[in-house]
Amino acid sequence: MSEDNNINDSYAKGGIFEQYIKDIIFDKSNYDLLHITPSDEQIKERYIESSKKPDFKFRCKKTKQEFFVEAKYRARYDLEDKVKLLDLDRYIRYKEYETPEIPVFIAIGIGGKPNKPVSISLIPLDEFKHEKLFKSVIKKYEIDHKRSLNAKKLVSLINKEEIQTKKAHSSFKRIISKKTLWPLVILFFMLVFFIIFYSLKIGNGSNKKEEQKLKSQIQAYYDALENDNLEVLDYFINEKVSRWYNSSNVDLNTIKKDLQKYYYKYPFRIINIDWDSFIMYELPNNDYVVSYILDYKIKSKANGNYSTYILNIKAIWSQDFKIKSMYEEQLNKN
């Protein structure tokens, strides 16, 4: 029996698939190899800091684009047509190496053998909202598994989110003309634009107007949280927050990282504000103290049951409607 027909050790399979990714998909004629994670044997001799990085860092010779690749081989999908690829700790660690200029991809080989997979997909790290990915998501990013990835395909994978955004913008008028239900993300941005426009109008400065503006901002903030939209948190939260739940003097970047971990653990959330409980008053420095009841539901799996929390939220919003302090009191848990 040949060696490649007797590959039983998972580490050996992983190493063989990594070799395949390096030599076939990102071959030396088209890609420069900038980093390769050291082997387990090398790490046993002495810990190597770079072992925390994804398996490879490449640079496309044609476009000069740099990017990281973590290689994962799986023999098959599970009974739910899913595969488990990254745990939370590894996802967060790889996220630290990703920048707008240098993306991180997970190269997934499915079926066949590690050196002859049936299919390969190159999936952006941001697609990993859960530990397991559906087959439909993996198939969406499938590439030619028998030859080097061409530069044009690489660019399309890197700019996929930007392309989708452009398509959404181009179809905006068509959506309105058909009077269909707007996606929640469009509704969110409309709320943001409304707040900006409304704040520029000359008003009488009454508490009622300020209360309505602040309510709109709070609703938009929770819409962003419910839809994993961390990119817009700069619009809602101060660079430095004096109190963030159980912590003091927390910066915005730390808040984003904590929320990212939380979203990964609890990808399903329903948030409802009890506006009848809303209380607001203005401080001498023109900041606003607010209090309201929040109906908050979370679960970690699609087929699981929601845990429901009734929370009393207390917060301070600045005069330009950004959170300066926020904490909660749990009233009950069902």
Laid out side by side, the sheet with 240-244 consists of 247-251, 240-244, 323-333, 307-317, 288-299, 268-282
Q: What is the pTM of this model?
A: 0.49
pLDDT at 57: 95
pLDDT at 333: 56
327, β-bridge pairs:
314
Domain annotation covers residue 110 = yes
Q: Are residues 188 and 124 in the same domain?
A: no
pLDDT at 175: 40
Q: Are residues 299 and 220 in the same domain?
A: yes
Would you report the helix, strand and coil content of the chain in percent, each value rounded to 5?
Answer: 40, 30, 30
Q: Are residues 35 and 182 in the same domain?
A: no
Q: Are residues 189 and 99 in the same domain?
A: no
Q: Are residues 244 and 317 in the same domain?
A: yes
Q: Are residues 8 and 153 in the same domain?
A: yes
The residue behind tokens 């709070």 is 218
pLDDT at 89: 73
Domain annotation covers residue 238 = yes
Q: Which CATH number fits the domain that encloses residue 109?
A: 3.40.1350.10
Helix (H, G, I), strand (E, B) or coil at 222: helix
State how many domains the chain has: 2
Residues spanned by the domain of 128: 3-164
Q: Which CATH number fits the domain that encloses residue 257?
A: 3.10.450.50
Q: Are residues 304 and 215 in the same domain?
A: yes
Q: Which two tokens stand for residue 301?
A: 């799996």
Q: Are residues 139 and 254 in the same domain?
A: no
pLDDT at 3: 44
pLDDT at 144: 92
Which among 258, 259, 256, 324 has a CA at the least distance from the CA of 290?
A: 324
Return the sign of the alpha-carbon dihedral for residues 261, 53, 109, 140.
positive
Domain annotation covers residue 169 = no
Domain annotation covers residue 292 = yes
User: For each of the chain's 334 residues, which pLDDT tens digit applies?
Assistant: 444 444 457 678 888 999 999 999 999 999 999 999 876 665 555 556 666 889 999 999 999 999 999 999 999 999 888 898 887 778 878 888 888 899 999 999 999 999 999 999 999 988 886 778 889 889 999 999 889 999 889 988 888 644 344 444 444 344 444 444 455 555 555 555 555 444 444 333 447 888 899 999 999 999 888 888 888 899 999 999 988 988 888 999 999 998 888 888 888 889 999 999 998 888 777 889 899 999 999 998 888 899 999 999 999 999 999 999 998 988 875 5
Domain annotation covers residue 76 = yes
Cα dihedral value 62, 65, 70, 75, nearest 10: -40
pLDDT at 186: 58
Q: Are residues 271 and 311 in the same domain?
A: yes
